[in-house]
Structure 1
Amino acid sequence: MNLIVSYISNFLSRKGSYVFFATIFARIFSFLAAWFALKLIPNKELGVVLFAYNIIVFIIPISGLGLHQSFIRYGALLKTKAEKNSLFLYVFKKGIWVSLLLIACICLISFFIDFQFKNTRTYLIVLSFIIIPSFLLEIIKAQLRLNHENKKFAFTEITQSILLLISVLILSYYFKELGYAVALLITPTLTAVLFIKKIGINFKLKNKLTITDSTFWKYGFFASLSNVVTQLLFVIDILLIGYLLADTEMVTNYRYISLIPFSLLFLPRVFMATDFVTFTEKIYDKAYIKKYIKSYMLLFLLISIVLVVTSYFLGDFILALLDSNFSKYTQTFLILIIGVCGIFIFRGLFGNLLSSIGKAHINYYIASFALLLNIVSNYYLIPKYGIKGAAITSAILMWFTGVVSVIAFKLLYKKVLLKTE
């Protein structure tokens, strides 16, 4: 228990509470923005914008070819402020150029696709420009985290959420679906403009760094690809349920039954967002990392037990709050909760530790293999068990990827330590 108390105390001392509440705040405001858009814009026109936007959402993680991912990891290993300043400038310049190239590719490819919905190409081109401010905002957030300014990092999330709600409300009211698209574009732009002066970067500094080699680029690229594949893991269930069951009602049921379990995944992300820089700075301190792992796992084991027990006894009540018809899917809900615990205890931590030692490509390989297993398993389980089959597949894979991440980290960490001795 002392380990857990100490761990939480250290988390709070790093302003983790601000990151926690900012994450919840952002989720609430994002929901409100989506709700206002739904009320102010006709469903048909809004659907076209959302279709185009969802394509861009999948591409955003690889904006700048993932250089923002490289920046946070390699920046944590640099010792001086001048070095971190120089790395920011390198990532800023190269990332913007790569993002422009990515936008050009999207625009060009869009003219060779015969979209089903009218104006999809127009919105895809307009929304593709979100890639640049999104990338800029990510490296600003990374710089704040590298400076251990988690409080300011949290305020970027809050500011972005407030700007999103206000811009969606005003622009959607006056300009409907076009206004909504513009709101999505200007929100990260305004947030980046507001915070870029707060990170203390000297744009005249031009020190050359030796770490910005092919390994640096490879790390960011695979870290970003890993995020894309992980997103697909959560989407593929919905797609396969719709395809294999040919029942839109089952798609809706699974979407809402999985809403609470998957929403809970923000918890390990909050801790990792707060602590990643700290444990990366001390990644070669075996005693510190061992203690951190033990403390984290004890805390999330306790949280997992509470979640499973609560879901077992109150699952039908919780689902009835969403819709009384969902109560019959209590077993499916409980299976997903058990699966999420695998990410809580293992995957959330060890996936980040693999990134911390520079092995982001391992996360990509694990996620890609899990995606393949997901498709194969669901083709067997969904026709046989319905949406419970999809839940079983997801739960098994969440534990599987977690355990594989643990094994991979332990094996690779030993090699990393040997190289530093």
Structure 2
Amino acid sequence: MKSLRIFIRDFFKNKGQHVFLSLLIAKICAFLGSLFVIRILPENEFGILSIVASVFAVFAPFSGFGSQQSLLRFGSVTFDDNEKKSLSKYLLMKGFFYQLLLSVLFLVVSLFYITRYEDIFYIFLLFAVRLVGFYFLNHIQSEFRIFGNNRGFARITNVVNVLGVSLLLLLSYLFGLKGYLIAIAFTPFLALFWFKKEHYVSVAESFSFSKKEIFSYGLHASGTALLSDALFSADVLMISFLMNETSVANYKVAILIPANITFLALTFMQSDFPVLAKNFKNKRFLQDYIANYYKIFLPVSLLIFMVGFWFKTEILEVFFTGKYSDNSSVFIILLGGFCLNMLLRNLYGNLLSAVGKMKVNTLVSFLTLLLLVLFSAFLVTKFGVIGMAMSLSLSMTLGGLLLMYSFLLYLKDLK
């Protein structure tokens, strides 16, 4: 228990609580926004919105072709402030060009849906605007992190999310779906109020990392994030093709709470990412980190699953009204899958990212997505929405085991 106390003490010493709480607030705001939209929109509109949001979730991690992930990782391992500024300036300019290309590709995808779903293009268009704002927000957040300004990171994150969800609730209430789309499209641009011009005006392009190394990491990080988020979008997209928008709505409701419990593990590890990156060759540190992580999240996961198991019907009725209470079986299967996800995939995937093993992460993420497609092709046609819940949970667990095995091999090679 002494090591756990030291672990927690160091977490607060590094101001990790500011990052953790801000990401927690972001998750709560996203949850409240989703909950409100579920309640006010008809099932068919919510189903169409979920389809576009799922496509957006596939593209969003690829923001700037990984420039923000590269900034966070390489900016964390250098101790020279001028080098950090130079790296940030270079990645902002390069990443923005790639971001514009990404937004165009996002709109091209809408062509596959226009003939099937009415008025879906304007939804895609406003989500494309959000993609650009999302790029600036992520870059500025990463810049705060590499300079150790966790308070600044928390401030920008809290303002964007709290003000964003407030506008979302107000405009959705007044104008329905159109109000919701306007709110999510423009709130990420609030991050530009924290844009630091001095970091980009007179900084020479000088850093110790090769551009090939930087973008190799960024592309693999984006590929991993893309494949990981595709895992949580492919399920909705496959249901949209194999079934209908009502089935999409039912599944989306059932997965909303289970998918959001992982924020506990993700925000905790994101808070520690710069520290993990700096200690990527410290075997003892990494071993202790894993042990202490389990001391915290193993009991948390068990508690969450037991509460969800005993009160699954009541939870669905309270949060989503009685019309969705028949999805309790889907809910508990997904809850179990995401609890295991916290203990395996979230932990070892983030560790591999911090130590620079992004190629392994990308490969395992691809295999996990492939497993989901294979499992769902059989299980969805046979069991419907329950089959998709089974497919996703099984795929995540097998992917998590592969990540654990890969990281343990990395640890074994460290001296």
Whether TM exceeds 0.5 here: the answer is: yes
Deviation at 1:396, TM superposition (A): 2.1
Distance 2:176 2:386 in 1: 39
Distance 2:379 2:45 in 1: 36
Q: Partner of 2:363 in structure 1?
A: 365
Q: Partner of 2:253 in structure 1?
A: 256
Distance 2:230 2:372 in 1: 10
Q: Partner of 1:380 in structure 2?
A: 378
- Among 260, 281, 286, the alignment partner of 2:283 is 286
| RMSD, aligned α-carbons | 3.5
1:318 corresponds to 2:280: no
Deviation at 1:209, TM superposition (A): 2.0
Deviation at 1:291, TM superposition (A): 0.9
Distance 2:310 2:61 in 1: 38
Percent identity between matched residues is 27
Distance 1:332 1:112 in 2: 31
Name the stretch that deviates more: 291-300 or 44-53: 44-53
Q: 1:85 to 1:335 in 2, by over 3 A?
A: same
Name the stretch that deviates more: 374-383 or 116-125: 116-125
Residue 37 of structure 1 contacts residue 172 of structure 1 at CA under 8 Å; is this kept in 2? yes
Residue 238 of structure 1 contacts residue 255 of structure 1 at CA under 8 Å; is this kept in 2? yes
Q: Partner of 2:195 in structure 1?
A: 196
Q: SS in structure 2 opposite 1:79? A: coil
AA aligned opposite 2:297: F
Q: Partner of 2:272 in structure 1?
A: 275
CA deviations over 1:90-121 (Å, ceiling 9, x no partner): 111111222233345556x4797682356644
Q: 1:331 to 1:71 in 2, by over 3 A?
A: same
Residue 54 of structure 2 contacts residue 236 of structure 2 at CA under 8 Å; is this kept in 1? no
Q: 1:158 to 1:324 in 2, by over 3 A?
A: same
Distance 2:38 2:338 in 1: 30
Residue 37 of structure 1 contacts residue 168 of structure 1 at CA under 8 Å; is this kept in 2? no
AA aligned opposite 1:229: L
Q: 1:60 to 1:262 in 2, by over 3 A?
A: closer
Q: Partner of 1:391 in structure 2?
A: 389
- Among 335, 340, 343, the alignment partner of 1:342 is 340
> Which runs of 5 or more residues in structure 1 are unaligned?
none
Q: 1:148 to 1:367 in 2, by over 3 A?
A: same
> Which runs of 5 or more residues in structure 2 are unaligned?
none
Q: SS in structure 2 opposite 1:406? A: helix
Matches within 5 A, 1:20-419: 20-33=20-33, 55-105=55-105, 109=108, 115-116=114-115, 120-121=120-121, 124-125=124-125, 127-168=127-168, 180-191=180-191, 193-197=192-196, 201=199, 203-241=201-239, 243-244=241-242, 246=243, 250-322=247-319, 323=321, 330-415=328-413, 417=414
Q: 1:381 to 1:168 in 2, by over 3 A?
A: closer
Residue 30 of structure 1 contacts residue 164 of structure 1 at CA under 8 Å; is this kept in 2? no
Deviation at 1:17, TM superposition (A): 3.3
